[in-house]
Amino acid sequence: MPEHRGPAPLPDRVTLLELRFLYIGVADTDAAVGPWVDGLGARLRWRFAHFGADVAGLDMGSGPGPVVMLADHRPPGSVLPIWSVADVAAAARALGQHGWRVEGPMGTPEGDAIVAAGPDGVELALLEVVRPGALDGAWADDDNSHRVR
């Protein structure tokens, strides 16, 4: 009879650290920013046009929370939550063990990210933050040719 050594180890699991961004698809970023700022009281944090995309980062409300990113290169009406993780490569492996389809890694200003679709088709992104504040720094750089004012 085989020796019993306790329960089988669980497959790796992902630990989410912080909801950093809500990546929201819009048809026209320029047209979308005004209603968010004027109607919802959002504050424009930064905006860039690069690689064929126009993306505006907005702070919502008075408390901490994810930055809302309005982006014209995402399908209008879509929302992709972006969570930070300690190790995006380990997270990709763990998700793969649980039936998620993983794309990436892809570079972002803050670090590498993946997009993962669960067995139900719901997508989320995971980001390993190695350059926190990179977008804020790029926005403050008067020489940044991709900054949109």
CATH of the domain at 105: 3.10.180.10
Q: What is the pLDDT of residues 56-109, one digit of tens each?
A: 999 998 777 899 999 999 999 999 999 999 999 999 999 999 999 999 999 999
Q: Listing from the earlier edge strand, what are the strands of the sheet with 43-50?
A: 43-50, 53-59, 67-71, 18-25, 79-84, 123-127, 112-117, 101-107
Q: Say if strands 53-59 and 67-71 run parallel, antiparallel, or are unpaired.
A: antiparallel
pTM of the complete model:
0.87
How many separate domains does the chain show? 1
DSSP secondary structure letter of residue 115? E
In a domain, 115, yes or no: yes
In a domain, 111, yes or no: yes
Q: CA 135 → CA 74, 80, 92, 128, 147, distances in Å?
A: 19, 18, 24, 15, 10
Give the pLDDT confidence score for residue 81 in this predicted structure.
98
d(C-alpha 38, C-alpha 33), whole Å: 8
3-state secondary structure of 87: coil
Res 143 pLDDT > 80:
yes
In a domain, 119, yes or no: yes
Domain assignment of residue 29, given as a range:
18-140
- In the structure, what pLDDT confidence band is assigned to residue 149 with cuts at 50, 70 and 90? confident
In a domain, 2, yes or no: no
- In the structure, what pLDDT confidence band is assigned to residue 5 with cuts at 50, 70 and 90? low
